């Protein structure tokens, strides 16, 4: 037995020696954690993203990563200020005709694409015509629903004629999915080699690994802060945090408050920004169990929104009403039950003819955003107090999207996109002909009338009054139960200078950032 | 007709049937799951697409054809060397796989190596005094290694090293062994360690059990009685025979790693084949998933064939069968 054990020991020590040697060789063969790049004008700013962008042509972009990358490559006709209001971009703010039917845009002088060709009115007309093409793959096509035609009377002027007044039209022109592409480059080639007029120009892409851009010296708004900008794909959030802490990446955006907390250190500063997006308990009034307005109001009264924010989203949110657009923001307390009122909830249940409560199916998905399932469970617990038995169905994101689009649910936890314009936010959901009306499950002649008035009015004060009524209609009928606007967390290495954290984690001013 | 009964012909025939089965199953499963490439790509924004847009997108993604036509179109492509194109990155599946596969193979080989280097010696050690403290200790550590989930170990290791030592090479852009061997090996340390630790326990247990079983065999007693030196007895007669089941198991583990090193690839940002399949699945890139799964299955089948051959070298009895 002695010899066996000696063989064992020998084998063990040989194994250990080889393993140690391998680790040592690897460990000594270079210092990996050099940081993202040398400072100054030759620096590379590294932005961590969790997935490969799925679209590379601006008008098809829908995924977060595509929008982040393409917003650095393409420019839009109009830009936004910190409050999301349209400001001059490639063009000055438009002159609007008295009848609100004609928008005239004057392009800035000397605009160029990164391939050297001039950016003029022909390119704008080409881009908008492509978006409006019925066969296009454009996700931004609905922004042009009121447009009759686009003209380019001279190289610096773009004229857009509308079929009917549409006060929300300019807001659509600020999104990267209306970014201007060159008319002399084939769309197919843009899929693999984007050509824009944004702060950075495309250099290379390694699928599943990274996208590298370099400074565009002809950028119309100034000299971008970094010589190179790399979007590096690190799929795991915690791995991203480790990469931030060792200085391998410089900037990353998180939606999970716990992850954001672990990222904070002496080398990483985390900015918390608000969002125009909103988390909502969608109720489909079209579903038999929710047809009675009192049943929906009972749900509104039984939910303590603060509790949803505090326990499910760990405090990372602000309670909200329907409209999140800064200029038209709803008062979150202007609704029948601004805080939880169980007695009132029971009254409504009695009025609905269901004093003992009812059963409700609620869909949610782990793949939507980090706190979706927690929110569903919190709502389930709260509604249970008044006898509403919630059956939570946690679906994979594809199944969820499929059911959501088909309106195949009674209630859903959702995070929906916001906009600087309330018409863009809700006309698609709550007008009887809206593309998502089946999803919203609620419409009324009053709402149709208010939406029509809102879009035809250009005076901001008058519009505010209209959208206040519209917001009241939505909450008084408990069309949905609006919960909160989430927070987003932008983690930035302290070496990065001139970075402006913007709400919605918008990267419209990322070009100013540089490394010290 | 004798050649049909030849073991090698039979094995190859089985392999081809397996691959056809895998391809049909992948094809069907992908389409049974709700959603398609349009909803995967546009998400909820798909609701704003006009019917014309939906029709043109269906044509673009080839969804307008019947299922059998879609399958045979893809199969014809594969048989003529065209594995399809990723519609998100616009790169051919062959090229994507060409980039990802070497990384996964490197990861798998190194992990198996670490698993064997840890598992075999510890197994020998455990078997040297069965039931005694060193046996109990190695068994306990193997149980511990088995119980800790890989993703947890990976995350904890990465965070600990980054927080306390400022070392996390996987945050750098990935470099292949050819591009930068030094950085590549550093980037492989953590995933290889995590995978190696999960492979070591079964190797350890198999080695231990096999040694104990063989030590009790008549031929070992006979050899010892004939005066075969103890060292030769241990290595040539016991360990060599004990390694037969270890080889079989290693082959299986290697096959699994080729397709299933996903956790390590995902957490440590290694652009390997597992991530390629995952990305294909989330984006509903049918061609990417079907072709990549077929490639993985082919390798799995080949590795198994290879294991059988190695088995024949290690085990003389297998040559006769």
Q: Domain ranges for chain A, please list them.
A: 75-180, 278-486
In angstroms, the CA B250 to CA A19 distance is 18
Same domain as B106, residue B228? yes
- pLDDT over threshold 90, residue B305: no
pLDDT (0 to 100) of residue A17: 44
Query: How large is the average pLDDT for residues A207-222?
Result: 95
pLDDT (0 to 100) of residue A147: 96
Query: How large is the average pLDDT for residues A388-396?
Result: 95
Q: How does residue A264 score in pLDDT terms, banded at 50, 70 and 90?
A: very high
pLDDT (0 to 100) of residue B318: 67
Same domain as B74, residue B141? no
User: What is the DSSP annotation of A18-77?
Assistant: HHHHHHHHHHHS--S---S--SGGG-EEEEEESS--S--SGGG--SHHHHHHHHHH---S
Same domain as B118, residue B218? yes
Q: Which of A299 and B154 is assigned the larger pLDDT?
A: A299
Instruction: Specify if B304 maps to a domain.
Output: yes
Instruction: Specify if B312 maps to a domain.
Output: yes
Lowest mean pLDDT among A398-412, A414-428, B200-214, B244-258: B244-258
- pLDDT over threshold 80, residue B2: no
Nearest CA in chain B to A239: B267
pLDDT (0 to 100) of residue A304: 97
CATH classification (class only), A278-486: alpha beta
Same domain as B99, residue B73? no
pLDDT (0 to 100) of residue A103: 97
Nearest CA in chain A to B37: A398
CA distances from A197 to A67, A71, A91, A118, A221 (A): 15, 10, 13, 10, 10
Same domain as B159, residue B304? yes
Q: Backbone dihedral region of A75: left (phi > 0), alpha (psi from -120 to 50 degrees) or beta?
A: beta
Instruction: Specify if B124 maps to a domain.
Output: yes
In angstroms, the CA A365 to CA A304 distance is 22
Same domain as B171, residue B32? no
- pLDDT over threshold 70, residue B320: no
Distance from CA of B217 to the nearest CA of A (A): 16
- Whether B46 sits inside 8 A of A244 (CB atoms) is no
Alpha helix locations (H) across A215-341?
237-245, 257-263, 293-302, 305-307
In angstroms, the CA A236 to CA B231 distance is 49
Same domain as B158, residue B307? yes
Distance from CA of A494 to the nearest CA of B (A): 15
Residue B222 has a CB neighbour count (10 Å cut-off) of 11
Which residues does chain B have within 8 Å of residue A5's beta carbon, measured at their own beta carbons?
Answer: 125, 128-129
Helix (H, G, I), strand (E, B) or coil at A221: coil
- Backbone phi and psi for residue B265, each to the nearest 5 degrees, phi listed first: -65, -40
Same domain as B75, residue B100? no
pLDDT (0 to 100) of residue B235: 85
pLDDT (0 to 100) of residue B110: 96
Strand order in the sheet with A488-493: A200-206, A210-215, A228-233, A44-49, A251-254, A488-493, A268-273
Which burial class, exposed, middle or buried, applies to B257 when counting CB atoms under 10 A from its CB (0-12, 13-18, 19+)?
A: buried
- Tokens 């040592």 correspond to A24
- pLDDT over threshold 90, residue B311: no
Residues B244-256 have pLDDT tens digits of 889 888 888 887 8
CATH classification (class only), A75-180: alpha beta
Instruction: Specify if B87 maps to a domain.
Output: no
Same domain as B16, residue B121? no
Contact A175, A119 (CB under 8 A): no
Instruction: Specify if B84 maps to a domain.
Output: no
Interface of A with B in 30-59 (CB under 8 A): 30, 32-33, 51-56
- pLDDT over threshold 60, residue A2: no
Instruction: Specify if B286 maps to a domain.
Output: yes
**Total domains, chain B:** 2
Same domain as B233, residue B98? yes
**Residue range of the domain that includes B241:** 93-319
Check if A75-180 and A278-486 are the same fold: no
Q: How does residue A36 score in pLDDT terms, banded at 50, 70 and 90?
A: very low
- Whether A32 sits inside 8 A of B187 (CB atoms) is yes
Query: How large is the average pLDDT for residues A441-463?
Result: 95
Query: How large is the average pLDDT for residues B130-140?
Result: 91
Same domain as B125, residue B249? yes
pLDDT (0 to 100) of residue A22: 44
pLDDT (0 to 100) of residue B11: 78
Structure tokens at B189: 């340390």
- pLDDT over threshold 60, residue A37: no
Instruction: Specify if B85 maps to a domain.
Output: no
- pLDDT over threshold 50, residue B302: yes
**CATH number of the domain within which B99 lies:** 1.10.3720.10
Query: How large is the average pLDDT for residues B148-166?
Result: 91
Domain end point (choices B79, B104, B130): B79
pLDDT (0 to 100) of residue B319: 62
Domain end point (choices B30, B49, B79): B79
Q: Backbone dihedral region of B34: left (phi > 0), alpha (psi from -120 to 50 degrees) or beta?
A: beta
Instruction: Specify if B88 maps to a domain.
Output: no
> Helices B286-314 and B273-282, interaxial angle, to 10°?
150
Domain end point (choices B44, B79, B114): B79
Structure tokens at A220: 């119309």
Same domain as B103, residue B71? no
Which residues does chain A have within 8 Å of residue B46's beta carbon, measured at their own beta carbons?
Answer: 401, 405
A13 CB-near residues (< 8 Å, 6+ apart):
B121
């Amino acid at each position: 037995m002695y010899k066996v054990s000696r063989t064992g020991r020998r084998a063990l020590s040989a194994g250990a020696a080889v393993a140690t040697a391998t680790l040592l060789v690897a460990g000594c063969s270079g210092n990996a954690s050099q940081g993202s790049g040398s400072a100054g004008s030759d620096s590379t700013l590294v932005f961590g993203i969790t997935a490969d962008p799925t679209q590379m042509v601006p008008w098809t972009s829908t995924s977060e990563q595509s929008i982040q990358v393409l917003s650095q490559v393409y420019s839009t006709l109009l830009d936004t200020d910190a409050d999301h209001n349209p400001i001059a971009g490639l063009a000055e703010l438009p002159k609007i005709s008295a009848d609100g039917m004609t928008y005239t845009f004057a392009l800035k002088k000397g605009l160029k694409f990164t391939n050297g060709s001039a950016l003029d009115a022909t390119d704008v007309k080409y881009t908008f015509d492509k978006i409006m093409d019925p066969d296009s793959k454009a996700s931004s096509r609905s922004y042009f629903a009121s447009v009759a035609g686009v003209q380019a009377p001279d190289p610096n002027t773009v004229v857009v004629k509308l079929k009917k007044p549409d006060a929300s039209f300019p807001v659509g022109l600020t999104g990267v999915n209306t970014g201007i592409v060159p008319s002399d480059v084939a769309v197919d080639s843009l899929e693999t080699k984007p050509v824009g007029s944004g702060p950075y120009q495309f250099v290379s892409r390694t699928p599943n690994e990274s996208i590298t851009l370099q400074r565009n010296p002809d950028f119309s708004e100034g000299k971008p802060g970094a010589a190179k900008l790399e979007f590096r794909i690190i799929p795991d959030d915690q791995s991203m945090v480790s990469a931030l802490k060792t200085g391998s990446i410089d900037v990353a955006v998180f939606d999970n408050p716990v992850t954001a907390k672990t990222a904070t250190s002496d080398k990483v500063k985390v900015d918390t920004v608000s969002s125009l997006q909103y988390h909502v308990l969608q109720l489909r009034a079209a579903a038999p169990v929710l047809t009675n307005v009192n049943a929906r109001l009972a749900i509104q009264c039984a939910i303590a929104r603060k509790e949803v924010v505090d326990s499910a989203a760990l405090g990372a949110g602000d309670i909200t009403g329907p409209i999140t657009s800064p200029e038209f923001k709803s008062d979150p307390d202007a609704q029948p039950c601004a805080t939880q009122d169980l007695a009132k909830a029971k009254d409504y249940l009695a009025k609905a003819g269901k004093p003992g409560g009812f059963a409700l199916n609620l869909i949610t998905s782990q793949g939507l955003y980090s706190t979706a399932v927690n929110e569903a469970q919190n709502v389930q617990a709260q509604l249970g107090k008044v006898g509403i038995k919630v059956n939570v169905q946690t679906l994979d994101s594809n199944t969820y999207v499929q059911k959501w689009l088909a309106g195949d649910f009674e209630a859903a936890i959702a995070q929906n996109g916001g906009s600087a314009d309330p018409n863009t936010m809700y006309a698609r959901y709550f007008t009887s002909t809206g593309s998502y009306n089946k999803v919203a499950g609620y419409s009324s002649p009053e709402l149709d009338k208010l939406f029509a008035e809102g879009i035809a009015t250009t005076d901001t004060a008058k519009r505010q009054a209209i959208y206040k009524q519209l917001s009241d209609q939505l909450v008084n009928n408990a069309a949905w139960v609006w919960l909160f606007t989430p927070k987003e967390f932008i983690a930035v290495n302290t070496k990065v200078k001139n970075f402006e954290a913007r709400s919605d984690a918008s990267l419209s001013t990322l070009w100013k950032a540089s490394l010290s | 007709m004798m050649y049909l009964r030849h073991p090698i012909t039979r094995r190859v025939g089985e392999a081809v049937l397996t691959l056809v089965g895998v391809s049909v199953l992948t094809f069907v499963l992908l389409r049974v799951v709700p959603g398609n490439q349009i909803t995967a790509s546009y998400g909820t924004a798909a609701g704003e697409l006009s019917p014309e847009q939906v029709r043109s997108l269906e044509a673009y993604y080839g969804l307008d054809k019947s299922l059998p036509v879609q399958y045979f179109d893809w199969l014809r492509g594969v048989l003529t060397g065209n594995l399809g194109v990723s519609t998100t990155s616009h790169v051919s599946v062959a090229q994507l796989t060409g980039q990802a596969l070497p990384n996964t193979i490197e990861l798998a080989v190194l992990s198996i190596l670490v698993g064997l280097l840890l598992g075999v010696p510890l197994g020998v050690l455990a078997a040297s005094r069965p039931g005694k403290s060193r046996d109990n200790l190695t068994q306990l550590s193997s149980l511990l290694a088995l119980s800790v989930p890989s993703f947890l170990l990976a995350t904890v290791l990465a965070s600990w090293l980054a927080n306390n030592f400022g070392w996390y090479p996987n945050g750098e852009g990935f470099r292949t062994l050819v591009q930068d061997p030094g950085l590549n090996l550093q980037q492989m340390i953590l995933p290889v360690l995590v995978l190696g630790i999960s492979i070591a326990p079964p190797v350890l247990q198999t080695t231990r059990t096999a040694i104990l079983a063989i030590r009790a065999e008549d031929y070992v007693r006979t050899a010892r009685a004939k005066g075969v030196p103890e060292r030769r007895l241990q290595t040539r007669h016991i360990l060599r025979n004990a390694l037969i089941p270890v080889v079989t198991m290693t082959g299986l583990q290697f096959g699994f790693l080729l397709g299933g090193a996903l956790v390590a690839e995902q957490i440590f940002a290694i652009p390997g084949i597992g991530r390629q399949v995952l990305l294909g699945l989330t984006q509903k890139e049918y061609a990417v998933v079907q072709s990549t799964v077929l490639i993985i299955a082919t390798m799995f089948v080949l590795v198994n064939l290879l294991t059988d051959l190695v088995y024949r070298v290690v085990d003389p009895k297998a040559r006769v069968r």
